């Protein structure tokens, strides 16, 4: 029999066999906490990355993107309009998008920062919210 020590992340409860890894992992949470605060304040991804160092670099087309920009992700809800906005940044540095591209309501998911679906950010004026959803449920 062997007694085993584990280290538990304060944020998500994930267990680690090394204190170092656990601390490193918690640092990532801390970085994303700050990143999300900045995102909410309307800072650009480039500005966020300069402070929080989440990614080696922000692709050119995303540098000036904020939470207000919207993206087309046609395979999510068969919606070819820009319905999805960045709502958070995960501790793994992924971008979580969320929006209402279909009559059945809101939907979302995560992308890595270099993902092709993020290549064409649209201005906030183009945000699409499927009007059929509100007609049906409100």
Interface residues with Zn ion (CB under 5 A)? 9, 11-12, 14
User: Which of 11/106 has CB closer to Zn ion?
Assistant: 11
Query: Which CB atom, from 12 or from 23, has the smaller least distance to Zn ion?
Result: 12
Q: H/E element holding 99?
A: strand 95-102
- Closest contact distance (angstroms) between CB of 27 and Zn ion is 10
Residue 8, classed as helix, strand or coil, is strand
Residue appearing with tokens 């591209």: 101
The smaller minimum CB distance to Zn ion, of residues 32 and 44, is found at 32
**CB of 29: closest distance to Zn ion in angstroms?**
5
Residue corresponding to tokens 């064409």: 120
Instruction: Provide, rounded to whole angstroms, the least separation between the CB of residue 68 and Zn ion.
Output: 29
Tally of CB atoms within 10 A around 54: 22
Task: Return the structure tokens found at 127.
Answer: 């945000």
């Amino acid at each position: 029999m062997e007694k085993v020590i584990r280290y538990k992340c304060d944020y998500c409860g994930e267990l680690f066999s090394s204190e170092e890894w656990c601390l490193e992992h918690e640092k990532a949470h801390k970085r994303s906490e700050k990143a999300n605060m900045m995102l909410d304040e309307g800072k650009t991804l480039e500005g966020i990355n300069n402070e929080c160092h989440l990614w080696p670099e922000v692709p050119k087309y995303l540098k000036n993107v904020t939470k207000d920009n919207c993206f087309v992700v046609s395979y999510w809800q068969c919606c070819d309009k820009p319905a999805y906005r960045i709502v958070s940044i995960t501790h793994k540095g992924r971008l979580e998008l969320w929006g209402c591209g279909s009559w059945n309501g809101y939907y979302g998911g995560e992308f890595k920062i270099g993902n092709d679906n993020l290549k064409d950010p649209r201005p906030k004026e183009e945000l699409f919210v499927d009007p059929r959803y509100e007609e049906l449920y409100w």
